[in-house]
């Protein structure tokens, strides 16, 4: 009888053996590269090519990442012939070899070095190196001076990329703050940790702008927003194209709906590049007395069933203004920042109008065959 498992296991074993053989060849080649680089350094090839140092030279000439170039240069500078020889025979790879070089510079006993070479994971080995590495005042100053933060918008500013690096203590502070804030929000099914941290960053920045991070205080900043709508693009797409704020930010129905909750909007219809063809009246924001009454009625906390949050309380329209909803208190509800900004305006949930006033429930968004409601509202507010 033909044994399929035997064939499958045999093929896997052959592939794995070949993979290890190739890795040994790569390790041997890396050892030779390290020796060559040590020799090239004597001729100062980096200065001849205008590079800042050998690490940059390696990265450019070998098409390696800065991290890979750093590890290879660490080996090239090392005078530990034993580590280089073990790399040459394929006992371990470039990452382990570079970590072992750094560990050897910490004057560890030879038995610790041998134990780390064979029995430590790369993560554990890196931790051992960091534990023994001396941190001088110069190191700390250098780490602080290398801090940076980059915020890069896409061409239409519909997405922003954020990245950078911080000094160790500051980085831990930021991470702890983001994790703590993310932990205060209700969990969302299938949400990644990174998405939770992104929401936390947005909420902390909103606190800074409105000064309303304290529980129980309303988190709002009434704004006046001018919305430009290209009639040629918006009509066939039901408002999903051709809608731009005065800042140049291209937005969709969800964002406009959120602006309508707290801000004022003036809609300017355009005909391509020919200029405005119609302008709406400035929509009214919720009157302060009405807003205060709704907060009092809802006892100064989120009205969603099971949520008692007082964080950045905001007033929301149960029957959206995009559907023609008004500012009558019976149509208004107090929501925390998470349920207003994330659950409703980002994830597309809506308030169940049949739920009790102090035990409001969310229901999922359901697509319709008609135009998005925001477009209907904007059409109704235009004064030709």
pLDDT tens-digit readout, 189-211: 777 888 888 888 888 887 777 66
- The confidence score (pLDDT) of residue 160 equals 87
Angle between helices 94-104 and 122-132 (to 10 degrees): 20
Same domain, 156 and 129: no
- Give a yes or no: residue 2 inside a domain: no
The confidence band for 85, taking pLDDT boundaries of 50, 70 and 90, is very high
- The confidence score (pLDDT) of residue 376 equals 39
- The confidence score (pLDDT) of residue 245 equals 73
Same domain, 320 and 349: yes
Q: Is the pLDDT of residue 339 over 90?
A: no
Domains held by the chain: number: 3
Determine phi and psi for 213, rounding to 5 degrees. -80, -15
Same domain, 193 and 99: no
Which two structure tokens, joined as six digits, stand for 270?
Answer: 């355009």
Q: Which one has a higher pLDDT value, 222 or 193?
A: 193
- The confidence score (pLDDT) of residue 379 equals 39
Best CA proximity match to 249, nearest among 372, 160, 370, 381:
160
- Give a yes or no: residue 246 inside a domain: yes
- The confidence score (pLDDT) of residue 76 equals 93
Q: 286 vs 220, 312, 314, 325, CA distance in Å?
A: 11, 17, 11, 12
Determine phi and psi for 315, rounding to 5 degrees. -95, 135
Same domain, 189 and 268: no
Which two structure tokens, joined as six digits, stand for 199?
Answer: 């929401």
> What is the span of the domain harbouring residue 88?
15-133
Contact residues for 312 (Cβ-Cβ < 8 A; gap 6+): 203, 206, 207, 210, 212, 213, 217, 218, 219, 336, 337
- The confidence score (pLDDT) of residue 367 equals 42
CB atoms within 10 A of CB 269: 20
Same domain, 311 and 162: no
Average pLDDT over all residues of the chain? 78
Which two structure tokens, joined as six digits, stand for 217?
Answer: 């205080």
Give yes or no for a contact between 297 and 260, defined as CB atoms under 8 angstroms apart.
no
Same domain, 238 and 368: yes
Best CA proximity match to 333, nearest among 287, 293, 373:
293
Same domain, 308 and 283: yes
Best CA proximity match to 337, nearest among 261, 284, 265:
261
pTM, two decimal places? 0.46
Angle at 162 between CA 336 and CA 61, to 5 degrees: 160
Same domain, 254 and 351: yes
Range 13-41 average pLDDT:
93
Contact residues for 368 (Cβ-Cβ < 8 A; gap 6+): none
Same domain, 239 and 351: yes
Domain final residue pick, 133, 165, 197: 133
- The confidence score (pLDDT) of residue 370 equals 40
CB atoms within 10 A of CB 338: 22
Range 26-30 average pLDDT:
94
Q: What does the alpha-carbon distance between residue 361 and residue 358 come to, in Å, rounded to a whole number? A: 9
């Amino acid at each position: 009888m033909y044994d399929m498992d035997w064939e499958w296991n045999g093929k896997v074993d052959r592939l794995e053996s070949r993979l290890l053989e190739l890795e040994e060849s790569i390790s041997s080649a890396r050892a030779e590269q390290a020796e060559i680089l040590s020799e090239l350094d004597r001729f100062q090839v980096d200065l001849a090519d205008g590079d800042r140092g050998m690490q940059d030279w390696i990265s450019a000439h070998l098409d390696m990442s800065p991290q890979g170039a750093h590890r290879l240069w660490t080996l090239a500078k090392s005078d530990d012939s034993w580590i280089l020889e073990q790399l040459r025979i394929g006992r371990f790879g470039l990452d382990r070899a570079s970590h072992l070089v750094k560990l050897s510079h910490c004057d560890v006993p030879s038995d610790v070095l041998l134990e780390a070479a064979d029995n430590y994971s790369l993560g554990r080995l890196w931790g051992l190196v960091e534990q023994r590495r001396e941190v001088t005042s110069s190191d700390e100053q250098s780490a602080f001076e290398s801090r940076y933060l980059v915020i890069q918008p896409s061409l239409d500013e519909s997405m922003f990329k954020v990245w950078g690096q911080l000094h160790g203590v500051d980085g831990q502070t930021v991470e702890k703050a983001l994790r703590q804030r993310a932990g205060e929000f209700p969990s969302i099914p299938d949400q990644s940790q990174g998405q939770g941290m992104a929401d936390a960053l947005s909420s902390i920045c909103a606190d800074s702008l409105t000064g309303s991070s304290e529980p129980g205080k309303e988190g709002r900043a009434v704004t006046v927003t001018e919305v430009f709508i290209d009639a040629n693009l918006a009509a066939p797409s039901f408002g999903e194209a051709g809608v731009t704020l005065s800042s140049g930010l291209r937005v969709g129905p969800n964002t406009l709906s959120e602006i309508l909750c707290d801000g004022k909007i003036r809609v300017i219809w355009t005909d391509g590049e020919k200029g405005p063809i119609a302008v709406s009246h400035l929509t009214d924001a919720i009157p302060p007395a009405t807003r205060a009454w709704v907060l009092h009625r809802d006892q100064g906390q989120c009205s969603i069933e099971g949520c008692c949050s007082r964080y950045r309380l905001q007033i929301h329209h149960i029957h959206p203004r995009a559907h023609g909803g008004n500012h009558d208190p019976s149509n208004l509800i107090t929501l925390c920042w998470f349920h207003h900004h994330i659950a409703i305006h980002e994830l597309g949930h809506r308030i169940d109008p049949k739920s009790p006033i102090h035990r409001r429930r969310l229901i999922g968004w359901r697509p319709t065959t008609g135009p998005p409601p925001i477009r209907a509202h904007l059409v109704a507010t235009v004064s030709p």
